Amino acid sequence: MSGADASTLTYDGLSGLNRPKLITEVPGPEAMARIERDAKVTSPSLPRAYPFVPRRGAGSMVEDVDGNIFLDLNAGIAVTSTGHCHPKVVEAVQRQAAELLHYSASDFYLPIYSDVCERLDALAPFGGKPARSFLANSGTEAVEAALKLARFATGRQYLIGMYQSFHGRTMGSVTLTASKAKYRTNFGPMLPGVYHSFFGDFDYIEGVLFKRIVSPTEVAAIVVESWLGEGGYVLPPDGWFTYLRELCDKHGILLICDEVQCGVGRSGTMWAIEQEGIAPDIITAGKGIASGLPLGAMIARDDLMTWDLGAHGSTYGGSPVSCAAALATLDVIEEEGLMDNASKVGDIFLTGIRDIAERHPIITDIRGRALWIGLGFADHDQAAAVELASFRRGLLMLGCGDDSIRISPPLVFREDQAGVALEIFEEAVAEVESAGS
């Protein structure tokens, strides 16, 4: 198939494919020219994983600027939950864009903003207790809103986060982020009053922090990813959230679950925390909530939303177009059974990868559930080599943690596509294994 032919595929034609089609070496000539231009004008801080230059996408397939077609296990970093350019999302965005592009919901009453809040409040995993939502433009802004509300509602200043966690790059969020020192290097001082414990640890908060560093009576919130994302796609140990919930209840501390990456269906349930059997006080969402349009949400128990008029707001947060995308996304997730699909296709991946790991012991660890899977290797270089070998075969994967690769495809990923992805992944693993032996 020529590049031009690939480009003329309709949405259905492109999304119906299950196998990458590479017509050039990757990166191809157009991609290389674009990367050269990009290198002269963009911030060198952007952490590009490999030379992929997308032009358009449909479902779980993405075409690059040379007409190469890739199978996408990244979903644009766990964002395109309904797949690339789902027709119902595109239609909702186009309709809203033609009707009203902007009116700030902070200063005026935007109906579609409250439509989204109504929807999220009804979905909030607070054990039936009423909720309210604040909409932002990104995950990090949702986390900032949660931190500010926690301090306001409790009148306390201290916060506890977890090592390995990622909450974003604005100053409050990056202070809680403790997955890689480079995210903080040369940006200090960080936000005062933030301490860290260990994801999955049952002793350190009480045994060290509360005993030696900070009184629990002064702690506003424990902030934790329900399932650890950038830090390696790690599930919490059994009972850990029950322990955290009890600890918080004992000391009047709020439990904030950051579900910017694992939320909105990726876990096989709307929220990953539903599978841990407890209710948080505040939850943050982003990424998959609007299929690629910028939207973050901070959803809190109604009785915590005590802050004063004007205490928090945003010019663009909850823009009408992002809100239209969010409503369509939630409809598609529910109507097309995408949470069940995530569980079903996730099982296929887990079974397939366990088989592959038997044949290729360089895969040292397999963890996860639904379309949230982390694969461990000996070290970062080996994981990066598998990521690159997959890319060269037309399979898009992304690293996480110190030595891992994640599988976080669109929630529309199909069984036939999983079969092909496993086949290509095994070839990539075999190549790296034989290069190292």
Q: Using CB under 6 A as the criterion, which residues of the chain lie in contact with ligand PLP when the complex forms?
A: 138-140, 143, 166-168, 225, 229-230, 258, 260-261, 286
Alpha carbons 208 and 171: distance in angstroms, whole number: 25
Task: Give whichever of 18 and 80 is closer to ligand PLP, judged by the CB atom.
Answer: 80
Task: Give whichever of 69 and 272 is closer to ligand PLP, judged by the CB atom.
Answer: 272
Alpha carbons 131 and 122: distance in angstroms, whole number: 8
Among 63, 53, 61, 67, residue whose Cα is nearest residue 80:
61
- 299 forms beta bridges with 133, 283
CB of 43 to ligand PLP, least distance (A): 15
Task: Give whichever of 145 and 260 is closer to ligand PLP, judged by the CB atom.
Answer: 260
Checking DSSP bridges between strand 372-376 and strand 365-369, what pairing results, if any? Answer: antiparallel
CB of 361 to ligand PLP, least distance (A): 30
Ranked by CB distance to ligand PLP, the top (closest) residue is 139
113 with 104: CB under 8 angstroms? no
CB of 231 to ligand PLP, least distance (A): 9
Alpha carbons 265 and 82: distance in angstroms, whole number: 10
CB of 269 to ligand PLP, least distance (A): 17
CB of 145 to ligand PLP, least distance (A): 12
3-state secondary structure of 405: strand
Task: Give whichever of 31 and 272 is closer to ligand PLP, judged by the CB atom.
Answer: 272
CB of 78 to ligand PLP, least distance (A): 7
Alpha carbons 81 and 330: distance in angstroms, whole number: 10
- 196 forms beta bridges with 161
Task: Give whichever of 210 and 271 is closer to ligand PLP, judged by the CB atom.
Answer: 271
Task: Give whichever of 31 and 289 is closer to ligand PLP, judged by the CB atom.
Answer: 289
**The token pair that represents 231 in the structure block:** 């830090």
CB of 146 to ligand PLP, least distance (A): 10
Task: Give whichever of 167 and 414 is closer to ligand PLP, judged by the CB atom.
Answer: 167
Preceding peptide of 20 cis, ω within 30° = no
Could you tell me the CA-to-CA distances from 354 to 268, 271, 350, 362, 406 in Å, in that order?
A: 20, 26, 6, 12, 15
Task: Give whichever of 164 and 417 is closer to ligand PLP, judged by the CB atom.
Answer: 164
- CB neighbours of residue 217 within 10 Å: 11
- CB neighbours of residue 50 within 10 Å: 16
- CB neighbours of residue 294 within 10 Å: 20
CB of 102 to ligand PLP, least distance (A): 20
296 with 142: CB under 8 angstroms? yes
Alpha carbons 291 and 409: distance in angstroms, whole number: 12
